[in-house]
Amino acid sequence: MAVTEASASPARAVALAERLASVRSAIATAARAVGRDPAGIALLPVSKTRPLSDVLALTECGGPALFGENRPQELARKAEALPEGSPVRFALIGHLQTNKAGLAARWAAQFQALDSLHLAAALDRRLQAEGRGLDVFIEVNTSGEAAKHGLEPAAVPSFASQLGAMASLRPRGLMTVALDSPDREAVAACFERLCQVRARLREDGVLGLPWDELSMGMSGDYELAIAHGATIIRLGTALFGAREPAPA
């Protein structure tokens, strides 16, 4: 049995439960405002840099069992430390280098940042060696920022069609990180572009899949993402609070 970190304090557990209730209420309000069923929107808590005790406490108070991690090393460490029988799983939502594909293949329950065929092939080989498959999302750079990972929207259909040759990868949908801006129209345009990419995939019948999932929206813009069709929202600060400042 794996050794786990200390349990969250009672006060911390209460704070997490209150944040979860507040976020779920906000999700429901945002969904109903645009005529959507809140049940069609999955919450993915982003647990990067957070202690495993927070993850377990959030699940124990009725939160989701799937958490998002940005770094494969941290994901693997947390997954390996889970108590026996825990329902918690981890999705890798950050950029993955091919030399870390083995960590994702062994420990990740989902990968939301697939953006190169070289990486896809490496991940497929590692998954076959592990004897398992993996749900994957194609990351799309909808903001056009050079510093961001992800495929250009126009490149997605061709890329997606080539994933059919990789039996261990199970394409589920698309992911994007919108522009970090106070300009709501500019942010909304990013979400709309992801919807347009999905429409193109469906129109072209790529892989014969519905491409149902749209992972978009974070703590600062998730209500806007919901208005534009997000099916998964990735929330860190809204659930766990502000991160501790780095030591000087």
Q: Are 66 and 86 spatial neighbours (Cβ–Cβ below 8 Å)?
A: no
CA angle 16, 22, 24 (to 5 degrees): 100
What percentage of the chain carries pLDDT values higher than 70? 96
- The answer to whether residue 193 is domain-embedded is yes
* pLDDT of amino acid 248: 39
Provide the domain limits for residue 168: 10-239
- The answer to whether residue 1 is domain-embedded is no
**Phi-psi map region of 107: left, alpha, beta (phi>0 left; psi -120 to 50 alpha):** alpha
- The tokens for 222 are 């998730």
Q: How many domains are contained in the chain?
A: 1
Give residue 125's identity as a one-letter amino acid code.
Answer: R
- The answer to whether residue 5 is domain-embedded is no
Q: Which residues pair with 105 in a beta bridge?
A: none
Give CA–CA dist 156/115, Å, rounded: 9
- The answer to whether residue 65 is domain-embedded is yes
Furthest-apart CA atoms within the chain: distance in Å? 53
What percentage of the chain carries pLDDT values higher than 90? 94
227: pLDDT strictly greater than 50? yes
- The answer to whether residue 4 is domain-embedded is no
- The answer to whether residue 247 is domain-embedded is no
CA 198 from centroid of its chain's CA atoms: 17
Give CA–CA dist 127/34, Å, rounded: 40
Phi, psi dihedral angles at 124 (to 5 degrees): -60, -45
Q: What is the DSSP string of 47-84?
A: -TTS-HHHHHHHHHTT--SEEEES-HHHHHHHHHHSPT
Phi, psi dihedral angles at 134 (to 5 degrees): -150, 130
5: pLDDT strictly greater than 70? no
- The answer to whether residue 212 is domain-embedded is yes
Higher-pLDDT residue of 4 and 129 is 129
Q: What CATH number is given to the structural domain containing 168? A: 3.20.20.10
Give residue 227's identity as a one-letter amino acid code.
Answer: A
- Cα dihedral 97→98→102→104 (10° resolution): 40
pLDDT tens-digit map of 195-207: 999 999 999 999 9
244: pLDDT strictly greater than 80? no
- The answer to whether residue 59 is domain-embedded is yes
21: Cβ contacts below 8 Å, ≥ 6 apart = none
